[in-house]
Amino acid sequence: MELLHKLILESGTVLEEKVLRVDSFLNHGVDPNLMMEIGKEFAEYFANRGINKVITIESSGIAPAVMTAYHLGVPLLVFKKQTSRTLKDSLIQTTVHSFTKDVDYQLTVSRKYLTSQDNVLFIDDFLATGEAALGVVRVLEQVGAKMSGVGIVVEKTFQPGHEILKQHGYDVYSLARIQSLANNRVTFASDV
């Protein structure tokens, strides 16, 4: 996606050759025009798969996911990272380890909003190790819901997330694929 690639090159900064900071348009500041284009692109790619719900994990997945849900004409369900005091329903939970941030969290969703009838599309901002997506898979398995695709805004192809999800049989569609952040420079997979 041209606009996304342009913004990454213009405003992205590299942290220790492993992490791409995109705070100005995705993780802190959010560019609404970009989110609209992202949502349209995912909705076109994942059309005609019988998807009845888009899911994501708070917080940075929400903006691209809500626009995807809008363009698909289906609701969005946001998985929480901790049990809220106000969440009194019966819950489904699994522990996820974030390697990038070196913390564990409880991926949490209410049974009220996810059923065995659901056929979901998972949208997230970054794909690195794939731990978050595998946590989502474990939650879906607990209710018997189906996942018909994974849409990622920025994938780091030098980390194993995509390969692991592919091995599990999932179709992963990433809008920007970063092959390397070596020498503090962004190299897209298509550039090499």
Q: Which residues bind ligand G4P (CB under 6 A)?
A: 19-22, 27, 57, 59-61, 98-101, 125-132, 156, 161
Nearer to ligand G4P, 47 or 99 (CB): 99
Give the distance from CA 81 to its chain's centroid: 14
Min. distance of Cβ 8 from ligand G4P in angstroms?
11
Q: Select 20 or 54, whichever has its Cβ closest to ligand G4P.
A: 20
Distance CA 165, CA 4 (A): 23
- For ligand G4P, the closer of residues 6 and 21 by Cβ is 21
Shortest approach of ligand G4P to residue 135 CB, angstroms? 8
Least CB distance to ligand G4P at residue 92 (A): 18
Q: Which of 95, 96, 168, 110 lies closest to 143 in space, CA to CA?
A: 110
Q: Closest approach of Cβ 71 to ligand G4P, in Å?
A: 21
Instruction: Give the C-alpha separation, 16 to 34, whole Å.
Output: 26
76 φψ region: left (φ > 0), alpha (ψ -120 to 50), beta (else): beta
